[in-house]
């Protein structure tokens, strides 16, 4: 299990500590004041794949379409984190073998879809230049009541926040960035069935 887990980010740790002490995290501007890409998440599914012969492992994957209607070409470098209800955070692509990515891309049967490496680069303007992507995570556990996807790199909005470092006790300045947050309902034991997409509960922008 531990090979899949990202250690808690320092930023996330100090922000959580600040919230516990009563500080309020800033919210995104009601009307975007910086560039923002149009992200359309598609279905979120679970699958079991043999990354090595006779060694099935559980993975989650999300397909999406991104369109640039900002009026300028922009570099596109997205980052997707998957968080469980137990606080485990996994970065997409980490510990995902190329054979697993190839298997899922083939399953999707979309000649235009790109994995998280192939999709990197300049995103040109207009719907005719929209890109279809897929991101994949190894699942650390099949027992969880919630899965949350944090999609960064789709907005240029950021805000500074002053928090108390949980380790040193010092007041430090950190920068939160606007990210898309997708929360999914996964009560009980996860079922690895690609024909049954996971229900999306909420879809919102937050500062993280």
pTM of the full structure: 0.84
Burial class of residue 128 (count of CB atoms within 10 Å of its CB; 0-12, 13-18, 19+):
exposed
Q: Decide if pLDDT at 171 tops 70.
A: yes
Round to whole Å and give the CA distance between 55 and 120.
30
Comparing 18 with 136, the larger pLDDT belongs to: 136
Q: Extract the runs of DSSP E, i.e. beta strands, from 99-170.
A: 113-114, 121-123, 131-138, 146-152, 158-164
Q: Determine contact, residues 147/83, Cβ cutoff 8 Å.
A: yes
Q: Decide if pLDDT at 23 tops 60.
A: no
Determine how β-strand 79-84 pairs with β-strand 113-114: unpaired
Give DSSP secondary structure letters for 95-109: T--HHHHHHHHHHHT
Round to whole Å and give the CA distance between 189 and 28.
34
Query: Encoding tokens for residue 41?
Result: 């998440």
User: Which phi and psi (to 5°) does residue 128 adopt?
Assistant: -70, -15
Confidence category of residue 71, pLDDT binned at 50, 70, 90:
very high
Kindly give the residue spans of alpha helices, DSSP state H, lying in the chain: 10-20, 98-108
Confidence category of residue 24, pLDDT binned at 50, 70, 90:
low
3-state SS class at 119: coil
Q: Which of 58-67, 126-135, 142-151 has the lowest mean pLDDT?
A: 142-151
Partnered with residue 177 across adjacent β-strands are 158
**Other CB atoms within 10 Å distance of the CB of residue 108:** 15
Q: What is the CA radius of gyration of the chain?
A: 18
Residue pointed to by tokens 């279809």? 132
């Amino acid at each position: 299990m531990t090979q899949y887990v990202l250690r808690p980010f320092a930023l996330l740790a100090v922000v959580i500590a600040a919230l516990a002490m009563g500080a309020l995290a800033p919210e995104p501007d009601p009307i975007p004041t910086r560039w923002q890409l149009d992200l359309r998440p598609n279905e979120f599914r679970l699958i079991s794949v043999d990354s090595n012969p006779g060694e099935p492992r559980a993975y989650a994957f999300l397909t999406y379409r991104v369109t640039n209607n900002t009026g300028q070409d922009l570099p596109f470098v997205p980052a997707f984190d998957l968080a469980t209800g137990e606080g485990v955070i996994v970065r997409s692509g980490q510990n995902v073998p190329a054979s697993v990515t190839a298997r899922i891309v083939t399953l999707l049967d979309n000649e235009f879809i790109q994995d998280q490496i192939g999709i990197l680069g300049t995103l040109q303007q207009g719907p005719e230049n929209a890109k279809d992507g897929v991101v994949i995570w190894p699942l650390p556990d099949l027992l969880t009541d919630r899965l949350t996807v944090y999609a960064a790199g789709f907005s240029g909005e950021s805000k500074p926040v002053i928090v108390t470092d949980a380790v040193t006790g010092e007041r430090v300045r950190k920068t939160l960035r606007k990210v898309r947050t997708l929360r999914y309902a996964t009560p009980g034991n996860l079922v690895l069935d690609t024909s049954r997409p996971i229900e999306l509960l909420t879809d919102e922008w937050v500062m993280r």
